[in-house]
Structures are given as C-alpha cells and as structure tokens.
A and B are shown apart, each in its own frame.
Chain A
Amino acid sequence: QKEVEQDPGPLSVPEGAIVSLNCTYSNSAFQYFMWYRQYSRKGPELLMYTYSSGNKEDGRFTAQVDKSSKYISLFIRDSQPSDSATYLCAMKAAGNKLTFGGGTRVLVKP
C-alpha cells in the first residue's frame, strides 16, 4: 500500500462548478501538506501549503487537513477551463522528504 493515495481521475466538471480533490495517507508523522498543479510538460506549481490540521483559503482555493482521519482536501471554486491540469498532493514529516500522491487529472469543460 502506498503512503499517500490519490484517485487518478480523470475528474470532469463543467465550468463554474466546484472541483473537489482529496488524498488519504497512512503515516501519522506527516505534518506539512501541500497541493501542486501541474500542466502538461511543465514542473509542478505550488498552490497551497498547510501545517497540521485546519483550513486555509487563498482566492478560489481552499485546503483542508483532517489529521485524525489522515485525509486532506483541496476545493477549487468557480472552476475555469484553465484549471484543467493534474493536481498533486504532497506531505512530509518534520525533517524528511516530500511524499507525493499519484495525482488527479482534472478537466473543466467550457
């Protein structure tokens, strides 16, 4: 079993809808959580960074961390076709490497 599980999708939504993404993990030592967006043939771009449990909002993006359930989420409001990409969750324990989920492909249809 992988340390970080992420549904590969694809997740297809109409423009303007809310995109809901999530990851589950098994390592209770993970404390730092990140979400990246990756367009085809580009490097991952950091969207959100969260420490420990709780919610964080930045523009159209909301990240949630529930450490008790080992579950993290990313919500994208008012989705646009330009949000079509692969979304990667990543997490780390203090002083350790970043561990990634396999990524979810999202397609926002005009």
Chain B
Amino acid sequence: GAGVSQSPSNKVTEKGKDVELRCDPISGHTALYWYRQSLGQGLEFLIYFQGNSAPDKSGLPSDRFSAERTGGSVSTLTIQRTQQEDSAVYLCASSLAMDTEAFFGQGTRLTVV
C-alpha cells in the first residue's frame, strides 16, 4: 500500500519568500507529525496532530512557521518569510492511532538561497 507521501521532494526558494510543504499520510492514520532535520543532525520536533484534538505546536521555532491538517488527512506546513537557517529536510510521519508505530515519508529538502 501507499506510504506517507511528501511534496515537493526538493524546493529551492529565495530568502524572504513563503513556502508550503505538503504531507499525505497513510490512509486512515489519525496522528501526523512534522519534524525537521538539518544536515548531519537529529530530528527536531515541530508539530503533532492527533485526531480532532488541539495540535501540539510546542516545537514550532517561530511564528513564521504554521501547519494545518484539513479533514483529518492532508497536512500543509507553511514557512513565511524564509530565512537561510530554515534550510533543512522537513519530514512528515503518520501513525494509525495515538501511540502506535509512526511511519515517515521521504522528506522535502528545502534550500533557502
């Protein structure tokens, strides 16, 4: 079956522009996570959606970052006024229920020039 799908796979943008990153979770999965991974670094938590509960936004690094999940399925991570330090791989994961296994997509590699 289809796994977690992220688009685009690569994105180059100019400093100051806004970008939108998309995540299509595995069908039926109620939990969705966004992480960011800088070159050679570990995974930095950004935001966590679980069903209809209020999302855990505690990892968003600034108010330039926001995310939404429409209809409990697709999620979009938006970065406004991008900065060079936003360059990283943005990873999305989903899980069937709150505390079950989480499966990752291949990520979106964002480069801010």
> Which residues of B49-81 have CB atoms within 8 Å of chain A's CB atoms?
50, 56, 58-59
Q: Is the CB of A46 within 8 A of B107?
A: no
Say yes or no: B101 contacts A99, CB within 8 Å: no
In the bound assembly, the distance between CA atoms of A32 and B45 in angstroms comes to 17
Alpha-carbon gap, A71 to B48, bound state (A): 25
Which chain A residue shows the least CB distance to B45? Answer: A97
- A96-B106 in contact (CB<8A): no
**Is A45 a contact of B104 with CB atoms below 8 Å?**
yes
B101 pairs with A98, CB closer than 8 A: no
Do A101 and B93 form a contact, CB below 8 Å, given A95-B50, A96-B56?
no
Contact A100 to B43, CB < 8 A, known contacts A34-B101, A43-B104, A46-B102: yes
Contact across chains for B107 and A100 when beta carbons are under 8 A apart:
no
CB distance B104 to A98 under 8 Å?
no
Residues of A close to B1: CB separation below 8 A:
none
Contacts A43-B107, A44-B104 given; does A97 touch B48 at CB 8 Å: yes
B25 located at the interface, meaning its Cβ lies under 8 Å from any Cβ of chain A in the complex: no
- With known contacts A95-B99, A100-B43, A43–B48 Cβ distance under 8 A: no
Expressed in whole angstroms, the minimum distance between the Cβ of B12 and any Cβ of chain A is 16
A68 CB, nearest partner CB in chain B, Å: 21
Quick one: which of B45, B59, B91 contacts A43, CB cutoff 8 A? Answer: B91
Question: A43-B105, A46-B101 are known contacts; what are 4 more A-B pairs with Cβ within 8 Å?
Answer: A41-B109, A43-B104, A44-B91, A90-B102
Chain B interfacial positions (CB closer than 8 Å to A):
4, 33, 35, 41-43, 45, 48, 50, 56, 58-59, 91, 93, 98-107, 109
What are 15 A-B pairs at a CB distance below 8 A? A34-B101, A36-B104, A42-B106, A43-B4, A43-B106, A44-B93, A46-B102, A46-B103, A49-B101, A95-B98, A96-B56, A97-B45, A100-B35, A101-B42, A102-B42
